Amino acid sequence: MEYRRLGASGLMVPALSFGAGTFGGQGPLFGAWGSSDAQEARRLVDICIDAGITMFDTADVYSGGASEEVLGQAVKGRRDRVLISTKTSLPTGDGPGDAGSSRSRLIAACEAALRRLDTDHIDLFQLHAFDAGTPVEEVLSTLDDLVRAGKVRYLGISNFSGWQAMKSLALAERHGRTRYVAHQVYYSLVGRDYEWELMPLGLDQGLGALVWSPLGWGRLTGKIRRGRPLPARSRLHETADYGPPVEDELLYRVVDVLDELAEETGRAVPQIALNWLLQRPTVSSVIIGARTEEQLRQNLGAVGWSLTPEQTARLDAASSRTAPYPYFPYQRQEGFARLNPPVLARG
């Protein structure tokens, strides 16, 4: 397993990490993802550790906290060998204090996560969403207190826009608060919006990308192809409306090239899609999920090799889309590009 620095920090993380959203699955969304109990989860964790995957990602909203509980049981007795990442800010109830990033909510959420995970510290504590109702200074001050208390070691964000992330980083620097070092983002061959603003921000500010849903919300598994109905067992039947939208023609165009490369390389379609991501600028770790040992072992085959530049270029071309304003002039017009070269050319 390759290890990379998490953004502008000293923390080394594996190129692949494991998403525990399938642990303890409850409800219409997470129940469709998976429902691994502690015994099943421990076996998956065993495989991960043996392969060098040492970081496990969860959140308080995953199955109402059950994911954190099962993960805590699965790593029991080897906590010092793994990194735990969890998230908060999204609603966990209907009460006025059950959502957001206020001081009271963050402190309570951190304490609850520590109890569920059965640990004395969280390696990476992330805000799952931007809270427009709480002053950024209050958020940063509270998170800094949690770091200084030893309950949290590193800080990150997830699903922030560029201005939200930059405002937070600027105020952290101004007031001497602990800075965010990670941004957990949606990024895939069928979802490259991350490249338009958040990737340049990550390069400039030292935010390492932790990639969620790298297979396009389950669309790049090799089971969905042009001219075929959605497989009966696909979780997209229940979960498509929760995830990022993908145009059919874009998906089929990308899958056509993935099929060609699978034939050329002898690799599975998901392995190729994951390997493409591992070569992108700012990517510190790609979060993989699995309901079964078979799925996990297949995903592990994404590391230890690389697509050729020519193969990468074919995937780039198949997955490219015209950027929205104000980015498309920099993508399409020479004068704009001379002033601000494409981020991938600098990567």
Catalytic residue among 3, 62, 154, 186: 62
Give the DSSP letter of residue 280.
Answer: S
With a CB cutoff of 8 Å and minimum separation 6, the contacts of 106 are: 88, 139, 142, 143, 146
Give the DSSP letter of residue 79.
Answer: G
Element housing 105 (H / E): helix 103-117
CA contacts within 13 A on the Cβ side of 242: 15
Give the chain's length.
347
252 is catalytic: no
Could you identify the residue written with the tokens 């909510």? 105
In the chain the first and final C-alpha atoms are separated, in Å, by: 22
Which sign does the torsion angle of CA 5, 8, 11, 16 carry?
Answer: negative
Classify 18 as helix, strand or coil.
Answer: strand
Strand 55-57 versus strand 83-88 pairing type: parallel
Cα(273)–Cα(286) distance, integer angstroms: 11
Amino acid identity, position 8: A
Tokens for 200, please give them.
Answer: 């340049």
Tokens for 131, please give them.
Answer: 């809270």
Element housing 163 (H / E): helix 162-175
For the chain, how big is the Rg over CA atoms in Å?
20
The per-residue DSSP string of 290-322 comes to -SSHHHHHHHHTTSS----HHHHHHHHHHH--P
What amino acid positions are annotated as catalytic residues?
62
